[in-house]
């Protein structure tokens, strides 16, 4: 059975000695622990994001270059198209001239002009066909590049999300425990909630063990007042009255203004009474009534005092 709080790393009888200096240190260990744990995840994530950013910039530059190429090709095609239209118009004029000229020599000259225009027209159309093919290839490359850019943007978003999730696992949480708002490590919250769940389920031995382990593991945690209170309560529930008396006495010395102070003083008096220390118990319960006359704990204390006489 658990007797007192004398495990290495924390001694309840020294709680009162810590005093003001101890209160200044609360939370410092939490911040250091969170910062150290986050450094590695943050550094690794930064490297991954930097790599993705470089690749993304390369893809964006390629995309801009491809866009310029497409614009140049489109301009060339448009220019050749205008030339073809001019050739077509000139060819029509030449054909009309052939019909008007009667002599063979004039007609021969016109036909020579027409042949020349046909060749130039064919050459221009060939150039357009080549440009259209090149444009088609360039557009396909651009589509592929667009998809690559979209993929890399998605990778960056996923990586950023992973970083957020990994860092949030180390960020302190603000919780309200026993009437006090405190900042705690996510791991501390999980362990404390587990210990309280065991207590509420009636597994007081398991709860006491969990609370004891948490006090040893996190001696600077902001949960400490609640850990001491519930550890004492778990001991009392197991009829470990000496351990309960030690816990509640230490709690009242170090956290006299805590919202659980009235309950702690009541539990201390009950533990003293059940341990056979009736005179001390009466003194404790009377002190409770004087200090917290309007509390529910004071009402219970009055009832119990009437039975201790």
CATH for the stretch 35-168: 1.10.287.1490
Residue limits of CATH 1.10.287.1490 in the chain: 35-168
Instruction: For tokens 């893809």, name the residue.
Output: 59
Which among 45, 31, 47 has a CA at the least distance from the CA of 170? 31
180: which DSSP letter? Answer: E
Residue limits of CATH 1.25.40.10 in the chain: 12-33+172-308
Q: Tell me how far apart the alpha carbons of residues 117 and 177 are, in angstroms, rounded to a whole number.
A: 93
Sign of the alpha-carbon dihedral angle for 13, 17, 19, 21: negative
Which among 279, 288, 287, 284 has a CA at the least distance from the CA of 308? 279
The residues with which 20 forms a beta bridge, in sequence order, are none
Q: Is 182 helix (H, G, I), strand (E, B) or coil?
A: strand
Residue 233 pLDDT grade (very low, low, confident, very high; cuts 50, 70, 90): very high
Q: At what angle do helices 186-200 and 224-237 cross, to 10 degrees?
A: 20
pLDDT, position 11: 43
User: 124, 82 in Cβ contact below 8 A?
Assistant: no
Name the pTM for this structure.
Answer: 0.52
User: What is 12-33+172-308's CATH number, 3.90.330.10, 1.25.40.10, 2.40.30.10, 3.40.50.2300?
Assistant: 1.25.40.10
Rounded to the nearest angstrom, the gap between the alpha carbon of residue 180 and the centroid of all alpha carbons in its chain is 25
pLDDT in tens, 138-152: 878 878 877 877 777
pLDDT in tens, 239-288: 999 999 999 999 999 999 999 999 999 999 999 999 999 999 999 999 99
């Amino acid at each position: 059975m658990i007797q007192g709080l004398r495990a290495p790393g924390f001694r309840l009888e020294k709680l009162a000695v810590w005093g003001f200096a101890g209160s200044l240190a609360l939370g410092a260990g939490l911040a250091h622990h969170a910062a150290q744990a986050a450094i590695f995840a943050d550094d690794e994530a930064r490297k991954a994001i930097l790599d993705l950013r470089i690749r993304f910039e390369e893809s964006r530059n390629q995309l801009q270059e491809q866009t310029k190429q497409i614009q140049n090709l489109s301009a060339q095609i448009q220019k050749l198209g205008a030339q073809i239209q001019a050739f077509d118009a000139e060819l029509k004029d030449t054909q009309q001239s052939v019909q008007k000229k009667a002599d063979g020599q004039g007609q021969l000259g016109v036909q020579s002009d027409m042949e020349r225009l046909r060749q130039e027209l064919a050459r221009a159309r060939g150039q357009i066909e080549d440009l259209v093919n090149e444009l088609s290839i360039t557009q396909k490359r651009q589509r592929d590049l667009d998809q690559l850019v979209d993929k890399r943007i998605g990778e960056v978003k996923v990586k950023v999300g992973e970083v957020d999730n990994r860092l949030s696992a180390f960020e302190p949480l603000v919780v309200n425990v026993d009437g006090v708002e405190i900042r705690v490590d996510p791991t501390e919250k999980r362990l404390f909630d587990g210990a309280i769940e065991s207590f509420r389920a009636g597994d007081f031995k398991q709860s006491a063990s969990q609370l004891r382990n948490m006090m040893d593991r996190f001696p600077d945690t902001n949960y400490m007042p609640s850990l001491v209170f519930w550890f004492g309560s778990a001991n009392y529930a197991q009829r470990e009255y000496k351990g309960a008396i030690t816990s509640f006495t230490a709690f009242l010395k170090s956290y006299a203004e805590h919202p659980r102070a009235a309950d702690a003083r009541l539990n201390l008096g009950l533990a003293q009474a059940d341990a056979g220390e009736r005179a001390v118990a009466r003194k404790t319960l009377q002190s409770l009534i004087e200090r917290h006359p309007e509390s529910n704990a004071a009402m219970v204390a009055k009832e119990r005092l009437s039975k201790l006489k």
